[in-house]
Chain A
Amino acid sequence: MDLTYSTAEQSFRGRARQWLAEHVPGEPLPPPYTAEGVAAHRAWERQLHDAGYTALHWPREHGGGGAGLIEQALFGEEYVRAGAPVRLNRLALGMAGPTVMAFGTPEQRGRWLPGMLSCEQLWCQGFSEPDAGSDLAAVRTRAELDGDELVITGQKIWTSLSAFAQWMFAIVRTDPALRRHRGLTFVMVPMDSPGIELRPIRQLHGEPGFAEVFLTDVRVPVANVVGEIGEGWSVAMATLGFERGTGLGDHARFARDIDDLVELARRAGMADDPVVRDEVAARHVEVQQYRRHMQHVTTRLAAGGSIGPEASMGKLYWSEMEARIFETALNILGPLAELTPDAPLNLAAPELHRRYWHARASRIFAGTSEVQRNIVAERVLGLPREPRWTST
């Protein structure tokens, strides 16, 4: 593991830091689940785009930054350090875009990639269904071939950003005679198609932003299929692989959380409490371990290695660690100031409240901790596979 940075990398970091210092909005943007928030984030994304920072990880031929992994990680760190806004089109840049580059035709690349980069087109993900969560291969949304169109009927759920997205990348069942992983197709669906209806889902902490997407006889040209019809499972697995590999430099936000914990402990008058000190120190060590792990992964990838099922270890570790960080915040606050939005001590870290709730969901989305552990056990460690029950 090489933990030193070259002169070029250091100067890249310096430029990024300076650009961010000059451009990051002084006031937090409104949250990106309102029309106003989406507009504000789009404007920010446009600035990033003009400066060439939108998609450092994309190759230059597709309009990306063509940056190496180390630079991506450095930018990620600087981005968090600067307190810059959450990224708006992550599903496009991190998942749909790389999928189109890997499996799409030149025509498809030209058609979708520029809009992803400029954030003119926002993307949402149509994988989960009521009966297909962890068990993604149970997807039932049906797509029938009718001439040069697919006619799609079914239901997607837990669809973030769907109210504002122009496109959804989805997996649908094109051949009902085939079971499970076979007979699936990966297709891009315009969200303004006739037959699409959204029903918002409110989350337990009251934040909107999720919806169910109902599709009734939605007609989509076959030209929107990525990969071959019936080969959607391998395309979708590649998409999820891209997702699990994203977030280089994300560890920096956990380091910021530790700073917040320390500040919180001081303000709450708990900085001398031995139990609190032990807990905060333990969280700090965990974040540093995670940081080292990510540096290790980054340098290995930069040296031409690949990341496969090991990516599950990173997801499992950070999501569990994140939850512990906010448990510690609660323990520091104690009985007089719960982590409610109006808790006076939250002034130390106004984001703590939202992040605390979000951490509850982190262990569930993008593959539950249980699914990740299974992947580590079976595919990293080579333990025997859990007996499979095939659904009918």
Chain B
Amino acid sequence: MTTYEPLEQVVTAIMADHCPPEVVAAAEGSWSPQVWDRLAGADLTAVGVPEVAGGSGGDLADAAIVLRVVAAHAGPVPLGETLFPAAAGCVAAGFAMPAGPVTVACGPGLSVTRTGGNVVLDGTAPRVAWARVAERVLVVGGSPDGPELAALVDPARLTLANGDNLAGEPRDDLVVAGLRLPAGAVATVPRGTAAHLYRLGALARSVQIAGAVGAVLDLTVRYAGEREQFGRPIGRFQAVAHQVATLAGLAAVAGAAADAAVASAVRDSGAGPASTSDVALAVAAAKARTSAAAGPAARIAHQVHGAIGFTQEHRLHHLTRRLWSWREEYGAEQHWAAELGRAVITAGADELWPTITRI
């Protein structure tokens, strides 16, 4: 683990210097190209992407370290999409990673089909993260019985209905009707890739939630120690101390679940997109657990901060509004809990204990 510490310190230093709360506030409804450039300048926006694909090397664990720190600072940059699903999708498709931010649109509403020498893109994808500020959108889709195809598309060629999540991060409804692409701009990817990229999106959000909950815990511990009422810091009231302790537990659980899923993804990096793989189960567990932690963590943080935490000028809401959004994105707790339950039941009773102890 010690080899990771310098990376974490590097990212922390950049974010502390260049992503103060004013930058986060100003980026609402858009993003911060300046923060992105700072990270890119330190080769941090391509961490975990193989060098042959234009990345700066390292593995997904390194990418997770960067993403977690960026999330802890509420960094308004499309790093989760770029480093997790987009990078994996580009590798699977044999595309070189674009230099700027890349997001992913995949889902049942999109079809990518070959017709003669062309490829035609059709359909809709709701609330695509960062679509309007991305340099490219990696679109993955296919027909139910055909192969899955992937294409890197300039968002200017797509129709986007701009929307934001609760934290003011772009989440745009994407519509594309009969967009023709040259066959060379499209690659065939293994079946199940779209589902796998969605899963990697969930993994990214798990890591981000872990980072934000950790930061929320730090803010809350500090405030409970500083704010005095009835002649003592409020953290010395058991009613408050117990809540902070619960928050610390939530942070630990979220961090452990995200770490375990990242480790599983690193171990299984050659396993491909099978939905029954260990990494699929680990990601399902991670997103279910981190999503479950996000709401209570935000609730406790606000309760301990009292009225001051409800103001625009306090930075707490930069993190808590992200938590409230991120827990829903790429599948909420219920979605992944159901997925996990189905997989475990399908595998049968004899597989339960081996599965739990293996993942």
**A interface residues (Cβ-Cβ under 8 A, vs B):** 128, 131, 133-135, 138, 157-158, 201-204, 206, 210, 273, 275, 323, 327, 330-331, 333-336, 338-340, 342, 360-361, 363-365, 368-370, 373-374, 386, 388-392
Give every chain B residue within 8 A of A204 (Cβ-Cβ).
309-312, 314, 316-317, 320-321
Contact, CB under 8 Å: A369 / B312: no
Take A323-B299, A336-B126 as given contacts and tell me if A202 and B312 are in contact as well, using a CB distance cutoff of 8 Å. yes
Give every chain A residue within 8 A of B328 (Cβ-Cβ).
330, 333-335, 338
Contact partner of A363 among B239, B303, B321, CB < 8 A? B303
Q: How far is the CB of B325 from chain A (nearest CB, A)?
A: 6
Q: Does B332 contact A (CB under 8 A)?
A: yes
Kindly supply a per-residue 1/0 record for chain B positions 250-275, scoring 1 wherever the CB is within 8 Å of any chain A CB and 0 otherwise: 00000000000000000000000000
Q: Give Cα A237–Cα B335 distance, bound, in whole angstroms.
A: 48
Contact, CB under 8 Å: B231 / A133: no
Q: Does B38 contact A (CB under 8 A)?
A: no
Q: Give Cα A333–Cα B232 distance, bound, in whole angstroms.
A: 42
Contact, CB under 8 Å: B310 / A389: no
Q: How far is the CB of B244 from chain A (nearest CB, A)?
A: 12
Give every chain B residue within 8 A of A369 (Cβ-Cβ).
303
Pull 16 A–B residue pairs with CB atoms less than 8 Å apart, ordered by A: A131-B228, A133-B229, A134-B306, A157-B307, A201-B311, A202-B312, A202-B313, A327-B295, A335-B329, A336-B127, A338-B165, A339-B166, A340-B165, A370-B303, A388-B230, A389-B231
Contact, CB under 8 Å: A373 / B231: no
Q: How far is the CB of B30 from chain A (nearest CB, A)?
A: 16
Contact partner of B307 among A275, A365, A373, CB < 8 A? A365
Q: Does B330 contact A (CB under 8 A)?
A: yes
Contact, CB under 8 Å: A133 / B306: yes
Q: What 5 pairs between A and B have smallest CB-CB spacing?
A: A391-B231, A204-B317, A202-B312, A135-B229, A389-B231
Q: Give Cα A133–Cα B230 distance, bound, in whole angstroms.
A: 10
> Helix, strand, loop or mixed for chain A's interface?
loop
Q: Does B135 contact A (CB under 8 A)?
A: no
Contact partner of B237 among A202, A275, A386, CB < 8 A? A386
How many residues from B make CB contacts under 8 Å with A? 39
Give every chain A residue within 8 A of B325 (Cβ-Cβ).
338
Give every chain B residue within 8 A of A361 (Cβ-Cβ).
307, 310
Give every chain A residue within 8 A of B85 (Cβ-Cβ).
none
Q: How far is the CB of A324 from chain B (nearest CB, A)?
A: 10
Q: Give Cα A254–Cα B309 distance, bound, in whole angstroms.
A: 26
User: Which partner residue on chain A sits nearest B299 by CB separation?
Assistant: A323
Contact, CB under 8 Å: B310 / A392: no
Q: Does B334 contact A (CB under 8 A)?
A: yes
User: Which partner residue on chain B sits nearest A275 by CB separation?
Assistant: B334
Q: How far is the CB of A144 from chain B (nearest CB, A)?
A: 25
Q: Give Cα A391–Cα B325 distance, bound, in whole angstroms.
A: 41
Q: Give Cα A135–Cα B325 distance, bound, in whole angstroms.
A: 33
Q: How far is the CB of A344 from chain B (nearest CB, A)?
A: 10
Q: Which of B202-261 contact A (CB under 8 A)?
A: 228-232, 237, 239-240
Give every chain B residue within 8 A of A133 (Cβ-Cβ).
229, 306-307
Q: How far is the CB of A84 from chain B (nearest CB, A)?
A: 27
Q: Give Cα A131–Cα B229 distance, bound, in whole angstroms.
A: 7
Take A361-B310, A368-B303 as given contacts and tell me if A138 and B334 are in contact as well, using a CB distance cutoff of 8 Å. no
Contact, CB under 8 Å: A340 / B312: no
User: Which partner residue on chain B sits nearest A206 by CB separation?
Assistant: B312
Give every chain A residue within 8 A of B191 (Cβ-Cβ).
none
User: Which partner residue on chain B sits nearest A200 by CB separation?
Assistant: B312
Given A275-B334, A336-B127, 19 more A-B residue pairs with CB atoms under 8 Å apart are: A135-B231, A138-B230, A201-B311, A202-B313, A203-B310, A204-B314, A327-B295, A336-B126, A338-B325, A339-B166, A340-B163, A340-B165, A342-B163, A360-B302, A361-B307, A373-B239, A389-B231, A391-B228, A392-B231
Q: Give Cα A128–Cα B311 distance, bound, in whole angstroms.
A: 15
Q: How far is the CB of A346 from chain B (nearest CB, A)?
A: 12
Contact, CB under 8 Å: B334 / A389: no
**B interface residues (Cβ-Cβ under 8 A, vs A):** 126-127, 163-166, 228-232, 237, 239-240, 295, 299, 302-303, 306-307, 309-314, 316-317, 320-321, 324-325, 328-332, 334-335
Q: How far is the CB of A386 from chain B (nearest CB, A)?
A: 7
Take A340-B166, A364-B310 as given contacts and tell me if A335 and B330 are in contact as well, using a CB distance cutoff of 8 Å. yes
Give every chain A residue within 8 A of B332 (Cβ-Cβ).
331, 334-335
Take A365-B307, A391-B230 as given contacts and tell me if A370 and B239 are in contact as well, using a CB distance cutoff of 8 Å. yes
Q: Give Cα A381–Cα B32 distance, bound, in whole angstroms.
A: 54
User: Which partner residue on chain A sits nearest B305 by CB separation?
Assistant: A364
Q: How far is the CB of A391 from chain B (nearest CB, A)?
A: 3
Give every chain A residue within 8 A of B164 (Cβ-Cβ).
340
Give every chain A residue within 8 A of B229 (Cβ-Cβ).
131, 133-135, 138
Q: Give Cα A341–Cα B126 distance, bound, in whole angstroms.
A: 16
Give every chain A residue within 8 A of B163 (Cβ-Cβ).
340, 342
Contact, CB under 8 Å: A389 / B166: no
Give every chain A residue within 8 A of B228 (Cβ-Cβ).
131, 391
User: Which partner residue on chain A sits nearest B316 by CB separation?
Assistant: A204
Give every chain B residue within 8 A of A128 (Cβ-Cβ).
307
Q: Give Cα A307–Cα B332 distance, bound, in whole angstroms.
A: 43
Q: How far is the CB of B298 from chain A (nearest CB, A)?
A: 9
Q: Give Cα A388–Cα B230 distance, bound, in whole angstroms.
A: 8
Q: Give Cα A336–Cα B109 distance, bound, in whole angstroms.
A: 13
Give every chain B residue within 8 A of A370 (Cβ-Cβ).
237, 239-240, 303
Q: How far is the CB of A135 from chain B (nearest CB, A)?
A: 4
User: Which partner residue on chain A sits nearest B337 by CB separation?
Assistant: A275
Q: Give Cα A131–Cα B226 distance, bound, in whole angstroms.
A: 12
Give every chain B residue within 8 A of A340 (Cβ-Cβ).
163-166
Q: How far is the CB of A280 from chain B (nearest CB, A)?
A: 14
Q: Give Cα A111–Cα B328 distance, bound, in whole angstroms.
A: 54
Q: Give Cα A210–Cα B317 distance, bound, in whole angstroms.
A: 17
Give every chain A residue within 8 A of B240 (Cβ-Cβ).
370
Q: How far is the CB of A130 from chain B (nearest CB, A)?
A: 9
Contact partner of B311 among A134, A202, A334, CB < 8 A? A202
Contact partner of A364 among B302, B317, B321, B330, CB < 8 A? B302
Q: Give Cα A133–Cα B229 distance, bound, in whole angstroms.
A: 8
Q: Give Cα A113–Cα B190 distance, bound, in whole angstroms.
A: 76
Give every chain A residue within 8 A of B321 (Cβ-Cβ).
204
User: Which partner residue on chain B sits nearest A340 by CB separation?
Assistant: B166
Q: Give Cα A360–Cα B314 distance, bound, in whole angstroms.
A: 15
User: Which partner residue on chain B sits nearest A208 by CB separation?
Assistant: B312
Contact, CB under 8 Å: A389 / B303: no
Q: Give Cα A209–Cα B221 distance, bound, in whole angstroms.
A: 29
Q: Give Cα A335–Cα B327 distance, bound, in whole angstroms.
A: 8
Q: How far is the CB of B212 from chain A (nearest CB, A)?
A: 15
Contact, CB under 8 Å: A203 / B312: yes
Contact, CB under 8 Å: A335 / B230: no
Of listed B230, B232, B330, residue having the most chain A CB within 10 A = B230
